[in-house]
C-alpha cells in the first residue's frame, strides 16, 4: 500500500511520477517538495462527454463505450458522466446500451475479451458502494449492474445509470470503475456548465 512504501519511494527518488487520487497526490507533492524533488502528478477526475443533438448517434455510442469502459473505467481519462441533448437522448441511450451489452467480458489474456477485471477488492467495493447508493436513492440501471464472480473475484458488469442526482455519491465523486451516468440536457450551454461544475480538473 502507498502509505507503507510511498514516503520511502519519494525520499529515495530524484523525480516522482505519480498516478492516483487527488488526496494521495497532495501528500506525494508535499513530500516531494520537502526534499526539492521534481514531481509529475496525474490525479483523479470525473470526466464528462457531451453528445449534442446533431451527433452521429452510432459513432457517439461507440466512442462512449470505449471511453467509459476501456480498462474497466480504471483510467484517469475514463468518462464517468455523459450529457446528452434531449432530442436524441432516447436514441443515444438505446444505442449506447446496445453497445455496452455487446461487450465481451472475460479473464482470458488472448485479446478475445473486450473487458477484464477490476484491479482489487477495494475497487470493486468502491464501485458497489457508488452503485448501491445511487440505486437506493432512485437511479435507474440502464444496463449492467451486477458483479460477475463466475469470471473472477473482482469482475463486474459495465454499468450505465440514468436519473442520477446530486445527492448520489457517483454524481460528483470519482468511481474509477465501469460505472457511467447519463444526463439529459436542454442545450450545449447547459451541458458545458454541468461538465465544468466539478472540483476536479478536466
In Å, what is the CA distance from 200 to each residue of 47, 53, 68, 75, 104? 9, 27, 17, 15, 31
Q: Which residue is catalytic, options 4, 17, 30, 76?
A: 76
**Can 170 be counted among the known catalytic residues?**
no
- 172 burial type by CB count under 10 A (0-12 exposed, 13-18 middle, 19+ buried): middle
For residue 158, the number of C-alpha atoms closer than 13 Å in the C-beta half-sphere is 29
Q: Which residue is catalytic, options 42, 90, 98, 132?
A: 42
Nearest Cα residue to 45 out of 163, 175, 153: 175
**Can 90 be counted among the known catalytic residues?**
no
Cell of 180: 457511467
What amino acid positions are annotated as catalytic residues? 42, 76
Amino acid at each position: 500500500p502507498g502509505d507503507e512504501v510511498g514516503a520511502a519511494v519519494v525520499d529515495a527518488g530524484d523525480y516522482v511520477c505519480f498516478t492516483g487520487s487527488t488526496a494521495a497526490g497532495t501528500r506525494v507533492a508535499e513530500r516531494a517538495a520537502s526534499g526539492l524533488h521534481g514531481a509529475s502528478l496525474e490525479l483523479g477526475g470525473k470526466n464528462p462527454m457531451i453528445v449534442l443533438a446533431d451527433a452521429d448517434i452510432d459513432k457517439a455510442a461507440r466512442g462512449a463505450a470505449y471511453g467509459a469502459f476501456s480498462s474497466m473505467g480504471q483510467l484517469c481519462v475514463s468518462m464517468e458522466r455523459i450529457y446528452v441533448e434531449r432530442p436524441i437522448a432516447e436514441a443515444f441511450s438505446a444505442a449506447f446500451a446496445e453497445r455496452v451489452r455487446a461487450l465481451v467480458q472475460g479473464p482470458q489474456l488472448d485479446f478475445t475479451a473486450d473487458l477484464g477485471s477490476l484491479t482489487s477488492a477495494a475497487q470493486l467495493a468502491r464501485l458497489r458502494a457508488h452503485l448501491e447508493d445511487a440505486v437506493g436513492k432512485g437511479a435507474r440501471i440502464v444496463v449492467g449492474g451486477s458483479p460477475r464472480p463466475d469470471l473472477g473475484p473482482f469482475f463486474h458488469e459495465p454499468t450505465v445509470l440514468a436519473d442520477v442526482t446530486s445527492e448520489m455519491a457517483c454524481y460528483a465523486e470519482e468511481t474509477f470503475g465501469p460505472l457511467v451516468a447519463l444526463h439529459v440536457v436542454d442545450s450545449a450551454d447547459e451541458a458545458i456548465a454541468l461538465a465544468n461544475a466539478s472540483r476536479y480538473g478536466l
